[in-house]
Amino acid sequence: MDEKKRIFSAIQPTGMMTLGNYAGAIQNWVKMQDEYECIYAVADLHAITVRQVPADFRKNAMQLMAILLACGIDPDKSLLFFQSHVHQHAELAWILNCYTQMGELSRMTQFKDKSAKHANNINAGLFTYPALMAADILLYQADLVPVGEDQKQHLELCRDIAGRFNGIYGDVLKVPEPYIPKVGARIMSLQNPTSKMSKSDTNVNGYILLTDETDTIIRKFKRAVTDSDAKVEFKEGKDGINNLISIYVAATGKTVEETVKEFDGKGYGDFKLAVGEAVADMLAPVTKKYNDLLANKDYLMQVYTKSAEIAEKIAMRTMRKVYKKIGFTEK
Ligand code: TRP
């Protein structure tokens, strides 16, 4: 009946999203809703691979739920729930752990990076994180997974695990394809435009949070690092300006060419102000909706509960097959 291809994606609740997350991923999540059957999760199980303070963690997770809805994830079109609410994620993860090799997990660059960063807490969950991610995707028999550069290796491993499982038991799990969005800006730090915009940046002027106030946004753009050419053009080596152009494009829907033409002969001061204003205009309704949603916990609960119920039904179908194929005794 439903011919649409299925997409699965998830995002970790690690504090307020940046403009980079929004323009790089979430804008695409929103767009994909019409063409695909989308299943989105707040990856709270993944988040505990790093120690969390319970009260902050709970708050962050709910805020992420609210901001995703505020950005335009539509619960009438897509599923949006907390990963921990659908217990099959953890169950399938255990099973897939038994079909994943230590060697494969040791080669994951994110594991190497994260264990260097959290040297005092290199837990087994951090190591087997990709098996949980594979479970997320394979539970729903997703056709496509939109992934950024940092998650490509994990998706590749997911495909290997699914292929291995199918090799033993027959066609049980759909092997997902990476989804490469047609557009999707890679937004860089405003202060150091050769590195990705990230809220772990020590300089707060490097990133824009989706909840930043208009004057904060404008101020941060005014301080953005540029160059000394004083010419708004998209060109190799002009990292700061290229980044500002990409942001302007993401915020206004204009093309790079239109943008370059618009600011021909104008100074960087004018350009930076225009980018700041465009971003502030784009985010103002998002922030407003976000605040309204956070004040309406009942509505949020209704959305994530209903989504999780539907997700669980799909997940159960996969689990039944998996259990049977493995040879567990039937209940
Ligand atoms: N690991 C991803 C990240 O940190 C989040 C994630 C969890 C995910 N499960 C997923 C992404 C499944 C895509 C598909 O960004």
What CATH number should be reported for the domain holding residue 213? 1.10.240.10
In the reported structure, the alpha carbon of residue 25 is separated from the centroid of ligand 1 by a whole-number distance in angstroms of 12
In this structure, the answer to whether residues 315 and 267 fall within a common structural domain is no
User: Is 194 inside a domain boundary?
Assistant: no
Residues 280 and 153 in one domain: no
Q: Residue 180 carries which DSSP code?
A: -
* DSSP state for residue 23 in the 8-state scheme: I
Residue nearest to atom 9 of ligand 1 (CA): 133
CATH number at 309 reads: 3.40.50.620
pLDDT at 218: 98
pTM for the whole thing? 0.94
Answer for the pair 266, 238: CB distance below 8 angstroms, yes or no. Answer: no
CB of 145 sitting under 6 A from ligand 1: yes
Are 174 and 93 in the same domain?
yes
Query: Which residue CA neighbors atom 3 of ligand 1 most closely?
Result: 11
| Residue 221, C-beta contacts closer than 8 angstroms, at least 6 positions apart | 190, 244, 272, 273, 275, 276, 279
Q: What is the pLDDT of residues 272-303, one digit of tens each?
A: 999 999 999 999 999 999 999 999 999 999 99
Query: pLDDT-derived band of residue 147, with 50, 70 and 90 as boundaries?
Result: confident
Q: Are both 59 and 174 inside the same structural domain?
A: yes
Tens of pLDDT, residue by residue over 71-111, are 999 999 999 999 999 999 999 999 999 999 999 999 999 99
Catalytic-labelled residue, pool 199, 231, 254, 325: 199
Judgement on whether residues 27 and 148 belong to the same structural domain of the protein: yes
Nearest CA to ligand 1 atom 8: 10
Number of domains in the chain: 2
Query: For the segment 204-235, what is each residue's pLDDT rounded down to a tens digit?
Result: 999 999 999 999 999 999 999 999 998 999 99
Q: For residue 121, how far is the Cα from the chain centroid?
A: 24
Establish whether residue 136 lines the binding site of ligand 1, counting it when its CB lies within 6 angstroms of any ligand atom: yes
pLDDT at residue 2, rounded to an integer: 60
Query: What beta strand segments (E) does 20-169 contain?
Result: 37-42, 79-82, 144-146
Active site residue 199: yes
Domain that holds residue 165: 6-184+297-326
Q: Is the CA virtual torsion 270, 272, 274, 280 positive or negative? A: negative
